[in-house]
Structure 1
């Protein structure tokens, strides 16, 4: 059987203890009687053989006990060393666990801090996400509205383009019509000038789109009017100062289409309209003797040359 150094030391200690016990036992047997040496005397008296047997039995028991104790010591030593190894391992494991626990605690704290930061970042991201979603919805709404406006604008553009084409065609037609009208106008103007020249040669005068004729014959107011009607006209009706100045420029006494033959004092033109613009001469109308119901022009200032006269008097028209 092999043992290590520690086991040998334990065995030596056990041997020393047993030796001490045997010596004590031997001494005690020798000193049991008062006379001392009673045991030896007894052994001697009974003989040496029983003593040897007892001593051999004791030694055998001691040897058995010694080997038993040695085995137990070896077993206990092994168990102790195993326990020490286990304790060492457990201590190392404990230290490792404590270190691991400390590391895990730090990692846990770091994780808590990271979790707090991540939570804040998550909340910020959620807020940012909500803002982005809202902005996206607004952009979608804006896009929808803009697209609808674009479609409407395109429709308006198409309509305006058609209108433009129609207007261009109309413009081209009007341009052609204008050119044609200009040509016609020039022709008519030439014809009018020719006609005016012919009418001037016949005694007619042109003013403000009207033709005026001064007769070279003296007639009464009624005869003068009939002569005008026979020419497709009537005695003059003066509506403005310009027309008054124009007819006065003839520098002739002549009837005009104004009278109060129907009701005395109510002057009316030949078309039945009442008198509004007046160019009476000084102290006129005076209705001398109540017989002056027709009006003629005098050779007095252009704006004051109307005179009431007897309708039967012969005068230019």
Structure 2
């Protein structure tokens, strides 16, 4: 029994001497490898953290930049909206002013159109009167000889006319514009003193007497002359029928 025990102990020592140191070295190598791996992993994690931190900082910076850009864009947009709103208000006001102006101009146009129509009508009437007057002028002529009232009337009658009858202001102005000196007209009170009668036996209704006329000076003024040099309207005088004047004739 003791011998077996001795052999057993001896064998165990030999085994320990053979494998013991080798196993310890292996364990040390494994520990070093694990340490290196741990360091490497720690470094990798550190790098990853740094990278993540950089990414986070970059993203944060970009976000702040985008936010500022967005904020500036929003402010510019609001300013643009406010400017457009102001412009719209101004344009609306100008539109109202223009509409008011257009309405006023429309009213003025209507008034001017009415005035133009009225003037056109008056122009047509005047043209008609001028034509009638021009046609009447052809019916007028003045004798070339100085004669008494009766002789001048006979001069006109011999030529298919008679001394002129003036019964309107228009005709009075026309005759006055054509006469250049005192002329006989077809008016007298030869038959009845103070009762003026035209050559067609009609009674005088409207006279164009010079102031103070007729005055029948010295009781011998029964015939009427027109003197255009004094007045274009009120220029009649009663004078003696024997005076020598030209006669103003009017064709029938």
TM-score normalized by structure 2? 0.46
Larger Rg: 1
Q: Relative contact order (alpha carbons < 8 A, sep ≥ 6): 1 or 2 greater? A: 2
TM-score normalized by structure 1? 0.39
